[in-house]
Amino acid sequence: MANERLRSAIVARGMTDDEVAARIGVDPKTVDRWINNSKRKPYRRHQYALANLLGRDISYLWPEERTAGEVREAGQAELIRLYPHRAVVPRELWPELYAKATEAFDVLAYSGFWLSEDPMFFKVVREKSADGVPVRFMLGEPGCQAVEQRGHDEGIGSGMASKVRNALVNYSPLFGLPGVEFRLHSTTLYNSLYRSDDELLANGHIYGVGAYLAPVLHLTRVPGGELFDSYAESIERVWQGARTIRSPHDLGAAA
């Protein structure tokens, strides 16, 4: 039986079997055996190399391979630091994180209001726009039920929708910059997520308190890890379901 997941991952990467073999440092016939005989599995070092090369988890390419202990170890390796709440995260961490972005620059939140008041963050956005890095903002649809509910959960009621509108006004100078796109979503968020390439900050949401008092996970993608990719995939799902706006006043009807 063939390993169709491995085959499709190579195709999706736009590579040939020979190219994969050259990058991994094995004979092309070895790669062919890995693909066409699922019982022929690479050594562990080659599994990690393939996962890294193809941008896939080991658990995806060889789902039966990993033990619970290996999953735990990989998860621990992904965690750079845990902050008990966002208020104690160094303010400079966000612009420093995004300054390293070359391929992915994502902000997923309801308002991200505090970032909308950070001149250093704005500076980084302009620099990345000039460098051709796609910058994606996903903020809450002010009139949607999810934003209304989050306002009640935090004890600020309609204040949450007002924060979104005010943040959008603050973000006005970024609208129209090359590669910078704003979308509004109606998703129930369990975390606010801030991604820069293979690092991200996950700010949890806790019932009854503002996000600034909730924990923040600083994560990095590692071969075989699953935490980073789980959060990154959720960003993509929200992005696909959100609507593009061209100005901070393009709010339309409630979702």
Are the C-beta atoms of residues 207 and 153 closer than 8 Å to each other?
A: yes
Q: How far apart are CA 120 and CA 93, in angstroms?
A: 11
Confidence at residue 76, expressed as pLDDT on a 0 to 100 scale = 85
pTM here is: 0.75
Are the C-beta atoms of residues 198 and 220 closer than 8 Å to each other?
A: yes
Are the C-beta atoms of residues 245 and 182 closer than 8 Å to each other?
A: yes
Confidence at residue 120, expressed as pLDDT on a 0 to 100 scale = 97
Q: What percent of the chain has pLDDT over 90?
A: 75
Q: What is the pLDDT of residues 4-15, one digit of tens each?
A: 899 999 999 999
**Count of CB atoms situated within 10 Å of the CB of 27:** 11
Q: In what order do the strands lie in the sheet with 105-108?
A: 79-83, 216-220, 199-204, 191-196, 105-108, 135-140, 180-185, 243-245
Confidence at residue 188, expressed as pLDDT on a 0 to 100 scale = 95
- Strand boundaries in 121-245, DSSP class E: 135-140, 180-185, 191-196, 199-204, 216-220, 243-245
Q: Give mean pLDDT, residues 29-44.
A: 85
Q: What percent of the chain has pLDDT over 70?
A: 95
Task: Tell me 213's DSSP state.
Answer: G
Is the pLDDT score of 255 beyond 60? Answer: no
Q: How far apart are CA 214 and CA 88, in angstroms?
A: 10
Q: What is the pLDDT of residues 97-113, one digit of tens each?
A: 999 999 999 999 999 99
Confidence at residue 60, expressed as pLDDT on a 0 to 100 scale = 81
Q: How far apart are CA 129 and CA 166, in angstroms?
A: 23
At residue 197, φ and ψ (nearest 5 deg) are 50, -115
